[in-house]
Structure 1
Amino acid sequence: MRERFVSSVFLEYMLITVGSALLAFGLVFFLEPNTIAPGGVTGLAIIIQKISGIPIDITNLAINIPLFILGLATLGKYFGIKTAYGTLILSVFIRFFMNIVGPGYVGVEDMLLSALYGGVLVGAGIGFVFKAGGTTGGTDLAGAILNKYIPSISIPKLMMGFDLMIVAAAGIVNRKIETSLYSIIALYITVKIADFIVEDLNYAKAFYIISDNPHEIGSEILKTLNRGVTVLKAQGMYTGSEKEVLLCVINRSQMTKLKDIVRKIDENAFVMVTTVHEVLGEGFMKK
């Protein structure tokens, strides 16, 4: 049990490390050179650097201190440790990449490409950090705090509300409306990629199967796919006849095999397939 816990914690911190590296890479190589601010404290830090010359890693740490204290009080010590690590390692990676590119780095001249690639990298980085149960501070920490009280709205979507003001400020500081527009593109991509990693990467498929051979199909699913099958009692509205509906939740990789099982036993079976964004319990990810 202890070995499993240690392994789980190690994996979480590895995800936070990789996510922070991707986030820093996207900021330094694509977004910061063009003053594209995809929201967040890092986006605000880009704006502050444009105005005052203060490095973004210093601003990132300075703004996150009070947010970290609030997060520690609201979300607990375990979450606070992850956030402290994420905030610190992000600043380390930002400084590392800034030292690589050196002063005067102009980045990719095409602002659309910068917004697209920067948004993908930042979104992937944030998504991995969230997946590990941490944050890198800033608006993602504020989003995590709000998510505790509004769980129906994902953290990335909550972040978007905070980030829109920062996006607008980027255009004002750069004196170009195009900067705000490209920042909105980067912000949208960031939220979509982060949302995909947090919510959609582990989605499963639920099959509802209506057949004249339910027990034969169910037995074959149990034997071949090693997945549980639930029998639901139903009645046809038109015929009034009693029916047994099979419900089975599987991984995406098993979809083709399940369809083949149904087709082999009853090619006239009625099958409905829906996407399940979260499954907890035996055979699936534990919360």
Structure 2
Amino acid sequence: MKVSLRKIIMDFFWVTIGTLLVTLSLDLFLAPNRIAPGGVSGLAVVLQHVFGWPIGAVTLAINIPLFLISTKVLGTGFGAKTLYSTILLGVSIDALAFLKPLTHDTILAAVYGGIIMGAGLGIVIKYGATTGGTDMAAMTLHKYIPFLSVGRILLIIDFIIITLAGIVFSPELALYALATEFITIKVIDLIQEGSGDERIAIIISDSYEEISKSILEEMERGVTELRGRGAYSKKDKNVLLCVVTRREVTTLRNLVKRIDPNAFVILSTAHEVLGEGFKNM
């Protein structure tokens, strides 16, 4: 499939924004407070404290060989965007190291460092790249130890790095690093899966036609009719499926209650909804 020049430019633009957010999380919050989250950047924070080596240079020195090894073992699937993000991260960490940390409160540094790092990594991943590091190492190792999943290998690597940080810094700072890692993962998931602002409604009612018509006309939302069958009654049922925003839930609930107070309604969160009336594909 041919990719437009505009899409390539936009992808690189957002990968740049995401990578710079990761840089700011390290320079403004994590590194000055000796919080070493998992991954290559966390290892670089530890090595800076022990040997005085620049974090960005260490990150590059580890990530570039990892990229080359992973490309040789796994193929060229990582692509130009990952190489670009990897180099930009290493260069920008040291280039922006002159910035003064925003806080020396460890709790604030762990929380906001995790949020900003998660946002940056989430954006980078969303636009088809990674910042290099332990994810490439985990995928490469998985090739040789397939009985361990990539996720489990990542967990082991991050655990080793955070344990090392606990030995070099203190057990308390290692706990802060774990908290940062947890927040980062949650924010990445939020960006990848969406905020969950939409709700899926499944409605079972004998008055399905009137309910369907009211949703279409009053709420101007699409409705899909599904064919169902009661396992106990063995009777055919018409099931309505529609998606509404969180703000429209009360309107939908009142609408159904007005028409059929005995209707069976299931509401659940949709992580992301693509299509007419919601986000574009």
TM-score (norm 2): 0.81
How far is 1:279 from its partner?
5.7
Q: C-alpha distance in 2, partners of 1:206/1:147? A: 37
Amino acid at match of 1:56: I
How far is 1:181 from its partner?
1.6
259-268 vs 116-125, which deviates more? 259-268
Aligned match of 1:201 in 195, 208, 222? 195
Provide the residue aligned with 1:273 in structure 2.
Answer: 267
User: In the TM superposition, what whole-angstrom CA distance separates every residue of 1:115-166 from its partner, at most 9, and x where no partner exists?
Assistant: 1221111112111111212111102444677899x9xx897x8744421111
After superposition, residues 191-230 of structure 1 pair within 5 angstroms as: 191-201=185-195, 204-223=198-217, 224-230=219-225
Provide the residue aligned with 1:24 in structure 2.
Answer: 23
User: In the TM superposition, what whole-angstrom CA distance separates every residue of 1:164-195 from its partner, at most 9, and x where no partner exists?
Assistant: 11111112122x22221221111121122222
How far is 1:98 from its partner?
0.5
Secondary structure at the counterpart of residue 99 of structure 1: coil
Amino acid at match of 2:185: V
Closer/same/farther in 2, CA of residues 271 and 139 from structure 1, 3 Å limit: same
Aligned match of 2:112 in 113, 117, 123? 117
Provide the residue aligned with 1:186 in structure 2.
Answer: 180
User: In the TM superposition, what whole-angstrom CA distance separates every residue of 1:91-119 from its partner, at most 9, and x where no partner exists?
Assistant: 23312320333xxx7x6332222212211
Closer/same/farther in 2, CA of residues 71 and 284 from structure 1, 3 Å limit: farther
Secondary structure at the counterpart of residue 208 of structure 1: strand
After superposition, residues 1-287 of structure 1 pair within 5 angstroms as: 5-72=4-71, 77=76, 79-101=78-100, 108-142=103-137, 159-174=154-169, 176-201=170-195, 204-223=198-217, 224-235=219-230, 237=232, 241-250=235-244, 252=246, 254-277=248-271
**Structure 2: runs of 5 or more not aligned:** none
Closer/same/farther in 2, CA of residues 146 and 19 from structure 1, 3 Å limit: farther
Q: C-alpha distance in 1, partners of 2:84/2:247? A: 35
Q: C-alpha distance in 1, partners of 2:135/2:14? A: 16
Closer/same/farther in 2, CA of residues 154 and 129 from structure 1, 3 Å limit: farther
How far is 1:243 from its partner?
2.2
1:36, 1:183 within 8 Å by CA — same for their partners in 2? yes
Secondary structure at the counterpart of residue 248 of structure 1: strand
Q: C-alpha distance in 2, partners of 1:45/1:131? A: 25
Amino acid at match of 1:115: A
Q: C-alpha distance in 2, partners of 1:137/1:158? A: 15
Closer/same/farther in 2, CA of residues 88 and 207 from structure 1, 3 Å limit: same
**Structure 1: runs of 5 or more not aligned:** none
User: In the TM superposition, what whole-angstrom CA distance separates every residue of 1:200-229 from its partner, at most 9, and x where no partner exists?
Assistant: 436743221011211232244445444341
Q: C-alpha distance in 2, partners of 1:144/1:36? A: 26
Amino acid at match of 2:99: I
TM-score (norm 1): 0.80
User: In the TM superposition, what whole-angstrom CA distance separates every residue of 1:37-63 from its partner, at most 9, and x where no partner exists?
Assistant: 011111111111112211111111111
Secondary structure at the counterpart of residue 39 of structure 1: coil
Amino acid at match of 2:23: A
Amino acid at match of 1:59: V
2:221, 2:243 within 8 Å by CA — same for their partners in 1? no
Q: C-alpha distance in 2, partners of 1:18/1:274? A: 33
Quick check: which one's helix share is greater?
1
Closer/same/farther in 2, CA of residues 280 and 215 from structure 1, 3 Å limit: same
Amino acid at match of 1:179: L
Closer/same/farther in 2, CA of residues 72 and 265 from structure 1, 3 Å limit: farther
